[in-house]
Amino acid sequence: MRTRIFFSMILLILGASILIGVLSVHQYKEEAEEYHTDRLLRKQDQIRAEIAYVLSATTWPIETYNLPFIFKANEDIYRISNVHKIPIKIYDLQGNLIVKSDDGFVKDTSDTFIANETLENLANTPGKRWVEHTSIDGVQYQQSYTYINDNQFKPLAILSLRYVENDEFITRELDEFLRRLAEGYLFMFLVAIGLSYILSRYITKSLKTISDQMVKTRLDKRNQRININDPSEEITNLVEAYNNMIDELETSAAKLAQGEREQAWREMAKQVAHEIKNPLTPMRLTVQSFQHRFDPADPDIRKKVNEYSNTLIQQIDVMSAIAETFSNFAKMPAQQTETLNVPYVVKLALDIFNEQFITFYTEKEEIIAKFDRTQLIRVVTNLVKNAIQATQDVENPQIRVEVKNDKERVCILVIDNGMGISDENAPLIFQPKFTTKTSGMGLGLAMVKSIVESCDGSVTFTSRTGTGTVFKVSLPLAD
């Protein structure tokens, strides 16, 4: 919006400058045309007055056919033309040339007669005057026509004057005016750029504050209310609407979090109950079977007691493993942050695996990050265990663990050539209880995600069915 306001104001100033320049040029041209026309008509009036004086002083009968003798007898037409510095032509009422002062400034073969259209325009024009604009050899002219009257004010002949439109002076004035106008508008344009920038920032400052605050709005965090000094009425309404939304959002988030926690505990309780029931059922059947078949005199009684005891111990171990798994999942991850050399800790986590197809690669021998050593080992161990299980049915299993430095983060990649993850299971892979294996409780990847995200990290994966999977753990580097 700030950019649109800025450029709109600039374009407005620029458009106004161009418009004023165009109007100025048009105005100057109109004034120049009016100036030439007025000057020509003034000369026409002066020459008509002198012609009337010549006619009043002549002894020749005042008739159209005598006009050549009247004006050339004393060379009056040449004198009048020289005085006014303009060529003079006199035509009869039918438009035929009968007297002229000279050949004019240029040779014009059409000066021997007046066109019928011009004669009609002259006859029908109020004031009996007609002015035409012509161009001969690139030179602009104005050609005026009017009647010469006798003593009875009857039309005797037609007077024609040709006036050259010399715009040199007006053109110089126009160029000077446009130059000054351009200088003034250039200054105003620069000032307008500065004012537009300041005004656009001032107008949108409050909106930017609101926009930045909206970008920071999160459901899982406490959001700050917006406080703006001296806002406009529209901005005040927008701020109040945002602050009310934040209050409602916090209330809704609290209710949602409470509901999610209750739902999570319900789901966890059902999962724990389900997992514990699995070993309890065979334990109950074993005890009942032993109770019905117990015979102290049986010579194999000791052997049967041992089998019974081993069965119960095995099921108790299963229950203990279940309890340990849920205990690990419930622990808060990354409680003790320390400075770690990530390649060293990852290599240390891989030492517990005996599989020969597990390989390790690091870009650098030392990449420092802040993380809990135990939790990092748990993350790597869980991901590698999943990779091993994913490659159980592969003829030539391969697992590669890589540590790379990616700008301001360290990335741990666990790459396998297992069966991959289907598109159907991909959205569920990090959810607790989800598993595609016949054993286990589906808490491993959920625990990995919880540990990594608690330290501003991220865990993602890419997979292709039948080709393999790549898990990527990204953690921030130490400052």
Quote the CA–CA distance of 140 and 263 in Å, as a whole number. 95
Among the candidates 330, 358, 373, a domain finishes at 330
CB 342 within 8 A of CB 403: yes
Whether residues 31 and 149 fall in one domain: yes
pTM above 0.85, yes or no: no
Helices marked H in 58-156? 67-73, 76-84, 116-124
300 falls within a domain: yes
Whether residues 417 and 323 fall in one domain: no
198 falls within a domain: no
Whether residues 160 and 139 fall in one domain: yes
Question: In what side-by-side order are the strands of the sheet with 458-464?
Answer: 358-362, 399-406, 409-416, 468-476, 458-464
What is residue 224's DSSP assignment? P
Give the model's pLDDT for residue 398. 92
189 falls within a domain: no
The CATH number assigned to the domain holding 302 equals: 1.10.287
Burial class (CB in 10 A: 0-12, 13-18, 19+), 160: buried
The CATH number assigned to the domain holding 375 equals: 3.30.565.10
Give the per-residue SS3 of 257-296: HHHHHHHHHHHHHHHHHHHHHHHHHHHHHHHHHHHHHCCC
Whether residues 352 and 306 fall in one domain: no
150 falls within a domain: yes
Whether residues 36 and 164 fall in one domain: yes
At position 263, the amino acid (one-letter code) is Q
Whether residues 325 and 347 fall in one domain: no
Task: Give the structural domain span for 103.
Answer: 2-171
Give the model's pLDDT for residue 445. 81
Give the model's pLDDT for residue 144. 86
Among the candidates 171, 197, 222, a domain finishes at 171
Quote the CA–CA distance of 344 and 350 in Å, as a whole number. 10
At position 76, the amino acid (one-letter code) is D
What SS3 class is residue 104? coil
The CATH number assigned to the domain holding 65 equals: 3.30.450.20
How many domains are there within the chain? 3
380 falls within a domain: yes
Give the model's pLDDT for residue 38. 78
Whether residues 252 and 347 fall in one domain: no
Whether residues 6 and 136 fall in one domain: yes
228 falls within a domain: no
What is residue 96's DSSP assignment? B
At position 212, the amino acid (one-letter code) is D
**Residue ranges of the chain with per-residue pLDDT less than 70:** 1-2, 5, 32-33, 73, 103-111, 138-139, 165-171, 173-174, 200, 202-208, 210-235, 253-254, 257-282, 315, 317-318, 321-336, 432-443
Give the model's pLDDT for residue 443. 62
Whether residues 260 and 148 fall in one domain: no
Whether residues 376 and 443 fall in one domain: yes
124 falls within a domain: yes
47 falls within a domain: yes
Quote the CA–CA distance of 293 and 70 in Å, as a whole number. 166
Among the candidates 171, 195, 224, a domain finishes at 171
At position 244, the amino acid (one-letter code) is N
